């Protein structure tokens, strides 16, 4: 009798889940707005950049719109957003001397709110030496060449703390990477990667994030795979995730061999993916599940 | 376990060598992407097929396809056509071809080849993100008999 009860409950639960899963879909949330701390409105959609030539329709959408209401709510309040622990740690490091020169970031750059405003929105970019650099490269360049300190690992906690703290200074500013001039050859390579079908499952980024955004792959609601919120907090990992870390995960899931975080290839891909979000406001540090 | 036992008894009982399986490289394709010959010679088991189709680590067909005939399976995907009625729309040979390598039927298809070992771009060993040390490390997603089991289940999907 008891067993039968449980069985019925399980069946009902399964039926309910099935109902949820087959309900109306293909929608980014239309009835919610990202207003942070009750005051700062961050638009989560923008007109699609011209270079996409309609590949994503008229509008580009933040990944925030594809997450469930609870996850969306966490990003609306900096006290609920677990990334702010890391932002605080990053700001503390900003002010702390390190390395043989005994200098802190603040000694040269002063207040992070002023000197780093808008920096993240325009990265990756081509340096004077003609190399394509992500934010992590700039941070490590200062540490090794200007402070006499050790480089941080690309996906180390220290690095994510700092990129979150710097990224926050661009929150609300539209993604504005350059894709022409010296950046063009890197951008082209990134674009080619985006449409390459990797791994045993033979899937490209575009197969999931262009052809199928708004659809469900099993229980995952596919977004456009925008990177305007990185580094972000992933509830599933209970930690901060960098842009390249996410790329690694997505290629691995095709039964493929990803490129290394920080590699030339992933920086090119980062530039291209960033350009698919041109005009979309930076949301760093976002929350996802 | 049960199956292995049963098989052993059959083989022992009749003293027949099991028919050689067709390897992924040797699949006898027709022009239109269908495969008439069974990969194993052993009829597929539709009940096994159903389990394979709903198991993440196996076919995981429901990641993309909804199947109304399986109302108890939660979180069915909506990326690909609903599979109900597939047994009416396609012949067994066509379904076998679609499951082995759908790109032979639908060029550029999003559907992965389930009995295919290459050529791929940067294939890894399953979901380890590690490159294969030798070509044999890349195993087809489904075994030959699992393909037959799935085809047998698909053939039951008629409306």
Task: For residue A41, name the pLDDT band (cuts at 50, 70, 90).
Answer: very high
Q: Do domains A2-80+172-288 and A85-168 have the same CATH topology?
A: yes
The reported pTM is 0.92
Contact A212 B66 (CB under 8 A): no
Are residues B66 and B77 in contact, defined by beta-carbon separation less than 8 angstroms? yes
| pLDDT band, residue B18 (cuts 50/70/90) | low
| A108 annotated ligand binder | yes
User: Distance (Å, rounded) from C-alpha B65 to C-alpha B86?
Assistant: 12
Segment A250-268 mean pLDDT: 98
Are residues A200 and B120, on separate chains, in Cβ contact within 8 Å?
A: yes
| Residue A250 marked ligand-binding | yes
- Taking an 8 Å cut-off on Cβ atoms, the answer to whether A256 and B122 are in contact is yes
Residue A250 bears catalytic tag: yes
Mean pLDDT calculated for residue range A62-66: 98
> With 60 as the cut, is the pLDDT of residue B4 above it?
no
Domains of chain B with CATH codes: 21-114+144-156 (1.10.760.10)
> Domain A85-168 classified CATH 1.10.760.10?
yes
* Structural domain spans, chain A: 2-80+172-288, 85-168
Chain A contact set for B116 (CB, 8 A)? 200
Cβ-based neighbours of A3, under 8 Å, separated by 6 or more: none
pLDDT at A27 over 80: no
Burial B93-125 (b: 16+ CB within 10 A, else e): bbbbbbbbbbbbbeeebbbbbbbbbeebebbbb
- Considering only the beta carbons, identify the residue of A196, A217, A219 that sits closest to B79: A217
B135 vs B133: CA distance, rounded Å: 7
**CATH number 1.10.15.40 given to A2-80+172-288:** no
For residue B31, the SS3 value is coil
More confident residue, A218 or A161: A161
Q: What share of chain B is helix, strand, coil (3-state, %, to 5)?
A: 40, 0, 60
Average pLDDT, rounded, for chain A: 92
Is A246 annotated in a binding site? The answer is: yes
């Amino acid at each position: 009798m008891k067993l039968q009860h449980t069985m019925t409950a399980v069946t009902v639960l399964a039926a309910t889940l099935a109902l949820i899963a087959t309900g109306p879909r293909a929608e980014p949330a239309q009835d919610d707005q990202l207003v942070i701390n009750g005051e700062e409105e961050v638009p989560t959609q923008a007109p699609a950049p011209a270079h996409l030539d309609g590949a994503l329709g008229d509008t580009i959408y933040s990944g925030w719109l594809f997450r469930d209401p609870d996850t969306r709510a966490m990003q609306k309040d900096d006290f609920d957003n677990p990334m702010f622990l890391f932002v605080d740690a990053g700001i503390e490091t900003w002010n702390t001397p390190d390395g043989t020169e005994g200098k802190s970031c603040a000694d040269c750059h002063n207040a992070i709110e002023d000197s780093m405003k808008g920096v993240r929105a325009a990265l990756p970019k081509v340096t004077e030496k003609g190399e394509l650099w992500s934010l992590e490269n700039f941070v490590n360049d200062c540490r090794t060449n200007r402070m006499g300190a050790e480089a941080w690992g690309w996906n180390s906690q220290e690095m994510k703390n700092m990129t979150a703290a710097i990224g926050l200074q661009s929150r609300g500013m539209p993604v504005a990477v350059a894709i022409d001039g010296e950046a063009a050859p890197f951008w082209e390579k990134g674009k080619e990667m985006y449409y390459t079908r990797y791994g045993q499952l033979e899937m490209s980024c575009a197969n999931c994030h262009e052809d199928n955004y708004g659809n469900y792959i099993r229980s995952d609601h596919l977004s456009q795979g925008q990177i305007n919120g990185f580094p972000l907090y992933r509830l599933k990992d209970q930690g901060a995730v960098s842009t390249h870390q996410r790329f690694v995960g997505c290629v691995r899931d095709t039964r493929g061999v990803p490129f290394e975080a920080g590699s030339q290839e992933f920086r090119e891909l980062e530039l291209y993916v960033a350009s698919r979000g041109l005009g979309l406001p930076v949301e760093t540090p976002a929350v996802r599940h | 376990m049960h199956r292995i036992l049963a098989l052993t008894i059959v083989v022992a009982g009749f003293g027949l060598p099991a028919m050689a399986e067709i390897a992924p490289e040797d699949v006898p394709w027709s022009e239109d992407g269908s495969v008439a010959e069974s990969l194993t010679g052993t009829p597929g088991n539709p009940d096994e097929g159903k389990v394979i189709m709903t198991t993440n680590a196996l076919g995981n067909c429901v990641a993309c396809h909804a199947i109304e005939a399986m109302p108890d399976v939660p979180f069915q995907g909506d990326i690909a056509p609903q599979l109900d009625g597939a047994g009416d729309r396609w012949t067994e040979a066509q379904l076998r071809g679609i499951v082995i390598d759908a790109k032979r039927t639908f060029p550029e298809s999003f559907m992965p080849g389930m009995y295919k070992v290459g050529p791929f771009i940067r294939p890894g060993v399953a979901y380890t993100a590690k490159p294969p040390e030798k070509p044999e490390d890349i195993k087809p997603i489904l075994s030959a008999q699992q393909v037959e089991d799935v085809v047998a289940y698909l053939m039951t999907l008629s409306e």
